[in-house]
């Protein structure tokens, strides 16, 4: 047993060793101790807790924002109850008869099974409610990132206690009685004693004054030290909040690094069970106002293997019943779909400035290929959707897998076996580090500027690119807007076929009419796929029109990446000041 203090009423009481909580005997509140995910400081919460969902709290030490599910709190409460019952049973055991001991043992075992099943069911409910629980939380904002400092309190302790002056009377000798006063030399001796006592008293006063001076000095130093800590805490909070203010300003101005950083925090703040990976990457393409999120998803091993626990009285054993493989795989597919939809929802809900128009989520799983023993990282789900598309969906009532199908997502035909799908957009094609490097070096190197090439050179560049990518290209008549129009053939069996490619050198965002024209050309040519490449970007309407169609839209950052990756051509995109787009799309 150990001693715990209730934060609600301040009552100290005995608690169970190793149990992360207790029930206050004074105010009857449930108290939990939850470790901070950043600094592992034991933070204290107290209930009651009702309903299901998640509770947000700040660490009292590092101020990090944490989430804890009500399912987890109920599990801790059940653990406290079980420990209390076990302790009470042990205390009564010596007073029970053998029959009563047996009955108590059976009851304890049955309670243990019940508690295990409650915890198991809670875990299942947690997995089934990953999406709906997140919808109950307030959208993430910059206010969550700002620090509200908890200033240290001044606790002088014994230094605040003023020592009283010595009592002079306690030092003086007893007064002479009438009889003793008549003895020869008694008064003289009494006067000597008084004089000696006075000297001792004065020394005691001087010692007292020295101690008080030392106490006052140490108290002043403690006050200065406390003020220094307060000022340092305030300064650190001000510096941190100033950085958040700067990040918010740059985010509002659609700075790619700031947008990526903010939404990385948005995705990272979402609650996940302990067994789930927490890694993710975020990149933003300002030309297309498109955010790409690469999620690390859990493997099938993170799903529960047990359906329920049963107590066999005849053997005094607790056995487990396995969850059927089909149900486990279905649960895994649902979890993957929920995490994907939840990520999109949290991005859109947190985007108060409407910086992002479309979101791409690629979900990957790290695993080991049992055939080769090598690590693999397949993409098992990929989806692109827009703000308007998500606004028409009631996520609280959808079937997650069906909802992904409605958004034209590519979901692995067998997620549990990690059958991969091709990402709608590779993360590295919009990685802001690549874009930033291009911007920094654009005036220092001799790489070709795509906006300054002649139409013939631009045609050759695009043709070379897709030939390097494995297509057999055939140029058609020159494009009316100074770009490239060509028909290509993918020689691969089954997946191959005729491909229509259009490349447009634009400074402004490509309008949806260009995407419609490409789709019409693709149908007229009887092609199986259309690819539109531009030096600028695309708007939300373009992505919405292309959704669900065999069309692929590549913006300027994608083009630079493909040229470098496949054609080994370092290029840059810098429209001249007098550049005018040949065709103005709507």
pLDDT in tens, 537-559: 888 888 888 888 888 888 888 88
Among residues 192, 194, 122, 201, the alpha carbon closest in space to that of 166 is found at: 201
Task: Answer with the residue of higher pLDDT: 443 or 320.
Answer: 320
The whole-angstrom separation of Cα 320 and Cα 549 is 48
Q: To the nearest 10°, the Cα dihedral for 196, 202, 203, 206?
A: 180
For the cut 80, the answer to whether the pLDDT of residue 466 exceeds it is: yes
| Token pair recorded at residue 548 | 């669900």
Q: How many CB atoms lie within 10 A of CB 564?
A: 15
For residue 382, what is the DSSP state? E
The whole-angstrom separation of Cα 548 and Cα 482 is 29
Could you give the 3-state DSSP secondary structure of residue 298? coil
The whole-angstrom separation of Cα 465 and Cα 170 is 104
Residue 477's pLDDT is what?
55
| Highest-confidence segment of 246-250, 537-541, 574-578 | 246-250
The whole-angstrom separation of Cα 198 and Cα 190 is 12
> What share of the chain in percent tops pLDDT 70?
89
Residue 49's pLDDT is what?
65
pLDDT in tens, 192-229: 888 998 999 999 999 999 999 999 999 999 999 999 99
pLDDT in tens, 514-540: 888 888 888 887 888 888 988 888 888
Could you give the 3-state DSSP secondary structure of residue 418? coil
pLDDT in tens, 418-442: 889 888 887 776 654 333 333 333 3
Residue 233: pLDDT band with limits 50, 70, 90: very high
Residue 432's pLDDT is what?
42
Domain 433-566 in CATH 3.40.47.10:
no
Q: What is the mean pLDDT of residues 176-187?
A: 80
Give, for 67, the enclosing helix (H) or strand (E).
strand 65-69
Residue 493's pLDDT is what?
67
Residue 482: pLDDT band with limits 50, 70, 90: very low
- Whether pTM exceeds 0.75: no
For the cut 60, the answer to whether the pLDDT of residue 156 exceeds it is: yes
The whole-angstrom separation of Cα 135 and Cα 349 is 9
The whole-angstrom separation of Cα 271 and Cα 312 is 37
pLDDT in tens, 1-15: 566 677 767 777 666
pLDDT in tens, 374-395: 999 999 999 999 988 888 999 9
What are the sequence ranges of the domains in the chain?
2-128, 157-251, 258-303+317-429, 433-566
């Amino acid at each position: 047993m150990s001693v715990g203090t209730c934060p609600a009423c301040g009552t100290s009481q005995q608690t169970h060793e190793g149990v992360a909580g207790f029930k206050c005997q004074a105010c009857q509140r449930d108290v939990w101790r939850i470790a901070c995910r950043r600094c592992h400081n034991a933070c204290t919460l107290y209930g009651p807790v009702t309903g299901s969902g998640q509770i947000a709290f700040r660490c009292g030490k590092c101020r990090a924002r944490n989430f804890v599910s009500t399912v987890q709190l109920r599990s801790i409460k059940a653990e406290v109850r079980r420990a209390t019952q076990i302790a009470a049973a042990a205390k009564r055991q010596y007073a029970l008869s053998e029959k009563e001991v047996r009955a108590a043992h059976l009851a304890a075992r049955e309670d243990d099974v019940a508690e295990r099943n409650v915890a198991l069911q809670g875990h299942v409910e947690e997995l089934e409610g990953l999406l709906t629980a997140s919808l109950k939380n307030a959208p993430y904002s910059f206010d969550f990132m700002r620090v509200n400092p908890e200033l240290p309190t001044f606790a002088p302790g014994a230094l605040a206690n003023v020592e009283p002056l010595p009592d002079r009377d306690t030092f003086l000798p007893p007064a002479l009685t009438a009889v003793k006063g008549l003895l020869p030399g008694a008064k003289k001796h009494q006067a000597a004693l008084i004089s000696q006592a006075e000297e001792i008293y004065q020394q005691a006063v001087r010692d007292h004054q020295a101690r008080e001076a030392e106490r006052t000095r140490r108290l002043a130093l403690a006050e200065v030290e406390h003020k220094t800590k307060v000022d340092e805490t305030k300064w650190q909070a001000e510096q941190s909040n100033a950085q958040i203010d700067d990040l918010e300003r740059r985010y509002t101005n659609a700075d790619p690094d700031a947008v990526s950083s903010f939404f990385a925090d948005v995705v990272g703040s979402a609650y996940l069970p302990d067994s789930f990976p927490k890694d993710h990457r975020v990149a933003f393409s300002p030309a297309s106002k498109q955010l790409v999120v690469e999620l690390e998803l859990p493997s099938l091993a993170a799903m529960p293997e047990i359906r329920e626990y049963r107590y066999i009285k005849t053997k005094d054993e607790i056995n487990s019943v396995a969850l059927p493989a089909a149900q486990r795989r279905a649960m895994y597919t649902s979890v993957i779909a929920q995490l994907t939809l939840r990520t999109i929802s949290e991005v859109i809900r947190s985007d108060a400035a409407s910086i992002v128009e479309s979101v791409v989520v690629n979900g990957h799983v790290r695993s080991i290929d049992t055939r080769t023993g090598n690590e693999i990282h397949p993409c098992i789900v990929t989806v692109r959707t827009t703000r308007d598309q998500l606004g028409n969906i009631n996520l609280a009532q959808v079937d997650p897998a069906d909802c992904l199908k409605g958004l034209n997502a590519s979901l692995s035909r067998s997620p549990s076996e990690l059958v991969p799908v091709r990402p709608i957009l590779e993360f590295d094609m919009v990685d802001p580090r690549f874009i930033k490097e291009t911007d920094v070096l654009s005036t220092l190197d001799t790489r070709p500027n795509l906006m300054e090439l002649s139409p013939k050179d631009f045609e050759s560049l695009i043709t070379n690119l897709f030939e390097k990518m494995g297509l057999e290209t055939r140029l058609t008549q020159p494009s009316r807007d100074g770009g490239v129009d060509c028909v290509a053939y993918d020689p691969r069996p089954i997946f191959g076929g005729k491909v229509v490619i259009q490349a447009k050198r634009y400074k402004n965002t490509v309008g949806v009419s260009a995407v419609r024209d490409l789709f019409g050309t693709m149908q007229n040519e009887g092609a199986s796929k259309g690819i539109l490449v531009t030096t600028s970007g695309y708007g939300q309407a373009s992505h919405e029109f292309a959704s669900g169609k065999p069309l692929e839209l590549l913006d300027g950052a994608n083009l630079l990446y493909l040229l470098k990756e496949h054609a080994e051509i370092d290029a840059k995109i810098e429209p001249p000041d007098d550049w005018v787009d040949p065709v103005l799309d709507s």
